[in-house]
Amino acid sequence: MNEQGSVVVPAIDTASSVVCLRSFGRRGIDTIAVAEDGNVPALRSKYCDEAIEVPSPENDLLGYKEALLSLASRPDVRTIAPLREADAYVLSKYRSEFAEHVPTPWPTLETLRDAQDRIRLVEAARNAGVAVPETHPLDEIEDWDRNRIVKARYALLTSEYIPSLSETYSAKGALTRHLEPGTEPDVEAISAEMGHVPIAQEFVPGSEYAVWALCDHGEPVTICQRRRVRGFKYTGGASVCRQTMYDPELDSIGRALLDELDWHGLASVQFIEDATTDEYKLMEINPRFWASVSCAVKAGLDFPYYYWRFADDGTFRTDSEYETGVMTHLLRGEAVYLHSILRETSPYIERPSLQREAHDSLTSIYSQPGCDYFSLDDPGPFVRDLRNAVAEATRAS
């Protein structure tokens, strides 16, 4: 056993799993990958020292919690890394149980709820002086002439937030949809489809930014920023190309919100810079390692390692110096982005030129070839991700 101990990393179908395994492994920290799917890329990493099958948190949330708790009780395990909403929820809801075995560098359930319940998050942002889009429960909207989007009220659907759900069930909130201005939607049908009354939010045109942070009760241990260059779709979505940057205004409002929430642990605070007002408006908080953590690592801030250090010693701090202008890519995501230009439509966003976007994508990959999965010294995850993408495309056709 490594004297430093081991870290539990959920092996999910997102590049952050691979980036975390590589970060820990290259530092000599033993890794335990937990997965419900044996085909995820992370399990093919040479930095995956041990792989354990666990129940899916979607179908057996309590079974998943018990599996993590069992690992936490092992003498070699020092901490658990949250990589999805369900991880953050389980670790926060059962924080006292985990605290009997490992440090708990994550928020309390009450604080987590302020992030996962978007109505409460809007209230917290207003208290912190952070601008937000106009946001209301969908069934309270009377004027349908404005440009609005619908999204789940809760980032994660669980019995804690929606009492009618089973305690063993969890699911990510439904993806954002754009409403047709001037047309009243079928509110009951949308609510039934989403499993609860979602929110209607003012559509904010503009570019997306994020503040990435690891916090000690509202005080950043380390912090940086990025802008989204391209998402999975031209209308938005998780970033497939992103670039580090710095804006003192964004830093100020990001810190203000984290302080207001007394946030503890990891956070990706996402904003839209309103194209009509140049004002940053809050979108959401991801209470976990974000999918594009590779960008921060490449820029000089090794968030997975810092998380490990902070869990081991709550007094750990770093100077947060990082290189701006650093870009990383999810290669298959770049292809999905270009495909969306051919297939997707939006009543609010003009479809960009496929030729121009293809040129920009290829140019940026050539000039800054950092990729989430691809690594010459650890090729397994990239090969597995490519095989998965081919298999998915074959099934779709």
Give mean pLDDT, residues 75-98: 97
Percent pLDDT > 70 in the chain is 99
pTM above 0.85, yes or no: yes
Q: Residue 40 pLDDT > 90, yes or no?
A: yes
9-18 per-position pLDDT tens digit = 999 999 999 9
Strand 77-80 vs strand 6-10: parallel, antiparallel, or unpaired? parallel
Confidence of residue 2 (pLDDT cuts 50, 70, 90): low
Confidence of residue 394 (pLDDT cuts 50, 70, 90): confident
Range of lowest pLDDT (113-127, 149-163, 189-203, 339-353) = 339-353
Q: What are phi and psi of 377, to 5 degrees?
A: -90, -5
SS3 (DSSP) at 8: strand
pLDDT of 393 reads 76
Give mean pLDDT, residues 114-125: 97
Give mean pLDDT, residues 117-129: 97
Give mean pLDDT, residues 231-254: 94
Q: Residue 397 pLDDT > 80, yes or no?
A: no
| CB distance 209 to 269 below 8 Å | no
| CB distance 105 to 264 below 8 Å | yes
pLDDT of 1 reads 44
Q: Where are the domains of the chain?
A: 134-202, 206-396
Residues facing residue 32 across a β-bridge: 8, 50
Give mean pLDDT, residues 220-232: 96
Q: Which two tokens stand for residue 393?
A: 């495309």
- CATH architecture of the domain with range 206-396: 2-Layer Sandwich (3.30)
CA atoms within 13 A on the CB side of 206: 21
Residues facing residue 244 across a β-bridge: 226
279-330 per-position pLDDT tens digit = 999 999 999 999 999 999 999 999 999 999 999 988 899 988 999 999 999 9
DSSP states of 195-246 = TS--EEEE---EEEEEEEEEEETTEEEEEEEEEEEEEEETTEEEEEEEEEE-
Confidence of residue 180 (pLDDT cuts 50, 70, 90): confident
| CB distance 209 to 198 below 8 Å | no
